[in-house]
Amino acid sequence: MINDKLFESQDFILTAIDFDKDPEIDSLYSLNLRYARYWCDSLIKPLSKNEMKKKYEKIEKKVDEGGRVVHFAIRTKTDLHLIGYMRINILWSLGAGWLVTAIGDPEHYGKAEEQIIPLALNYAFRELNLYRIEFDLPEYEGEKSNILIVNGFTLDAVNREVIYFDNRFWNELLFGILKPEWEALQEVKA
Amino acid sequence: MTESILIGEKVRLIPVDADRDSKLFASWRNNSEYLRLMDGDFALHFSIEKMKKWMEENELSDAVAFFMIKNKEDNQIIGDIGLSGFQGKHSNAFVGISIGDPENWGRGFGTDAMRVILRYGFGMLNLHHISLTVFEYNPRGVKSYEKAGFKLEGVQRQFLNRDGRRWDMYRMGILKREWEELTHTN
């Protein structure tokens, strides 16, 4: 029997982008620069609805053309309300992926990652057949460390003081997990 | 004084010339060992035209600062070095380097070029930190980067998949204050 719940956790669901409804909500979330940073390449700033739409177009083009990234909108299961996104950037030849979870709705901070990270790992290892997943965490979001560790990640490297945010430099914590480590954890859980 | 920023003991850094350097890169890239030391992505040839187009696209770009490495002694262009992946302003950049002809490997050109690009990155661009990655099977690279002042910041375990086995990738970095201390000491 194959897993038919690849995109669902207890409370959340991974879906496609909704170009009509999502820009307005994401634009509002981006007023929090911690969330905006997940959408901005260089200068971190809030994005307008139209700018959000352009970001969506860009990511969809990237998904189509190169197959080097997968991107999902995260929504609550009950009312399909957008709360953020989950993305995996992929280097196929190495079987390596970089997982990003960006949660914009403060009501779901923490709880969303607790459910989305295991879902993303399952997708990465069992659907994309990757071997290594990395999660690069800004130290100012250090509260996510525990969720990563519980899910089997190891702190592989500390990129010292490489992020400037809110008037100071922060470390970037590079967490990694290998497929055999994840599989061993699944056996323990079973 | 500012003229000497891009000049080391053995090398000087000069701008990329798409017409000239696309041919050089295309010839260096014939060596699969060169490709595998330089890049984690799969080894692949690019035509001179493609290399040239890529270089031209980066002309006048503020997103990258690429240079060619010239041997001061005989004025041969021996490799390239560049900063990219700038995060914010005056924060972090990622440095990549290659020396093309294996005859020029292990002769101190890379270390010298790295010292020059650190002076440029910290002294001119006011960066706070410069990062690099190097593969487990490149101990010569690790030694060279340590000599230039980089510190090991961690190991991305089993990152590469080559020749039927997984290899680690080392993460190295240097902070501006560490570079300043080094330059004072020297």
pLDDT of residue B2: 56
State whether A91 and B41 contact (CB < 8 Å).
yes
Q: Give pLDDT tens digits for B45-72.
A: 888 999 999 998 888 777 788 899 999 9
Which residues of chain A are modeled with pLDDT < 50? none
Work out the angle between the directed axes of helices B48-58 and B18-28 (0-180°, nearest 10). 130
pLDDT of residue B172: 98
Q: How far is A125 from chain B (nearest CA, A)?
A: 15
| Alpha-carbon gap, residue B158 to B165, rounded angstroms | 9
Give the ipTM.
Answer: 0.79
The answer to whether B176 faces chain A, any CB pair under 8 Å, is: no
List the single range of A113-117, B23-27, B153-157, B182-186 with lowest mean pLDDT: B182-186
Query: What residues of chain B, 91 to 150, have a C-beta less than 8 Å from chain A?
Result: 91-92, 128-129, 131
What's the pLDDT band for B184 if we cut at 50, 70, 90?
confident
The answer to whether B167 faces chain A, any CB pair under 8 Å, is: no
List the single range of A124-133, B90-99, B108-117 with lowest mean pLDDT: B90-99
pLDDT of residue B88: 64
B40, B129, B175 ranked by CB distance to A94: nearest? B40
Q: Which residues of A65-97 are buried (b: 16+ CB within 10 A; e: fewer)?
A: eeeebbbbbbbbeeeeebbbbbbbebbeebbbb
Mean pLDDT of B120-127: 90
pTM for this entry = 0.84
pLDDT of residue B62: 76
B40, B154, B160 ranked by CB distance to A157: nearest? B154
Q: How far is B142 from chain A (nearest CA, A)?
A: 16
Query: What residues of chain B, 30 to 69, have a C-beta less than 8 Å from chain A?
Result: 40-42, 63
